Chain A
Amino acid sequence: NAGVTQTPKFRILKIGQSMTLQCTQDMNHNYMYWYRQDPGMGLKLIYYSVGAGITDKGEVPNGYNVSRSTTEDFPLRLELAAPSQTSVYFCASSYFQGANNQPQHFGDGTRLSIL
């Protein structure tokens, strides 16, 4: 199994540009997550989804949008890139049903620089 696949691995954007970070998982997980990881700051939850068609804001959603049209895919969109969005972005997925709260599986990350 591929697990969680993120593309691209690296990207440099100019201020004001837009882009979509892709994330797909092949484990039939219902929950998917987007995090950003800044140096020394741990992981901050941007958005998450509990299933196809359902998304919700995390801790730091401003400047981002997501959609979940299928179980497998959970793209993250930056509409107007700002230097503050320079970070490493991780997508994750997990299976959750009631009290059966399984750990998250992470992608390899996307390193994004806004100049």
Chain B
Amino acid sequence: AQSVSQHNHHVILSEAASLELGCNYSYGGTVNLFWYVQYPGQHLQLLLKYFSGDPLVKGIKGFEAEFIKSKFSFNLRKPSVQWSDTAEYFCAGNTNAGKSTFGDGTTLTVKP
């Protein structure tokens, strides 16, 4: 069965620190991968997506993620976080049938 797992439930960083959030997936075939962000009190918004091609994808607000097929990973990174990055981050995967699976989310708190 398809699954997505996120390693960190809660991450606390100081401003300007670097960020890496782990995501591993388990899918039987072709998979499309996404990272979404949910700011407090808001709905989920797309950060970035990977369909095919260059395994390093860049998203909005300086985020990027790298698809490593051999490790079944799609980790999210940002070189220098800001206080405004405080949010919950979800990794998700879609099969070719369009059905999606979300990880449990990682809460990021950035201290000013």
- Give A contacts to B, CB under 8 Å: 31, 33, 35, 40-45, 48, 50, 58, 90, 92, 94, 96, 98-99, 101, 103-104, 106-109
How many B residues are at the interface, by size bracket?
Answer: 20 to 34
Q: Are A48 and B99 in contact (CB under 8 A)?
A: yes
Q: Are A108 and B104 in contact (CB under 8 A)?
A: no
Contact of A40 among B34, B102, B104 (CB under 8 A): B104
Over the window 77-96 of chain B, the binary record of Cβ atoms lying under 8 Å from chain A Cβ atoms (1 yes, 0 no) is: 00000000000001000101
Question: What residues of chain A lie closer than 8 Å to B104, measured between beta carbons?
Answer: 40-42
Complexed CA–CA distance, A42 and B85 (Å): 18
Q: Are B51 and A99 in contact (CB under 8 A)?
A: yes
Question: What residues of chain A lie closer than 8 Å to B30, measured between beta carbons?
Answer: 99
Interface residues of B in 31-54 (CB under 8 A from A): 32, 34, 36, 42-46, 49, 51
Which chain A residue lies CB-closest to B102? A43
Q: Tell me whether B98 is interfacial, beta carbon within 8 Å.
A: yes
Q: Are B90 and A101 in contact (CB under 8 A)?
A: no
Q: Are A101 and B94 in contact (CB under 8 A)?
A: yes
Known: A40-B9, A42-B90, A101-B51. A109 touches B43 (CB 8 A): yes
**9 smallest beta-carbon distances between A and B, as pairs:** A42-B104, A96-B98, A106-B43, A43-B102, A103-B46, A101-B32, A106-B44, A42-B105, A108-B43
Q: Tell me whether B22 is interfacial, beta carbon within 8 Å.
A: no
Given contacts A45-B101, A45-B102, 11 further A-B contacts (CB under 8 A): A35-B102, A43-B44, A48-B99, A96-B98, A99-B30, A99-B51, A101-B51, A101-B98, A103-B36, A103-B49, A106-B44
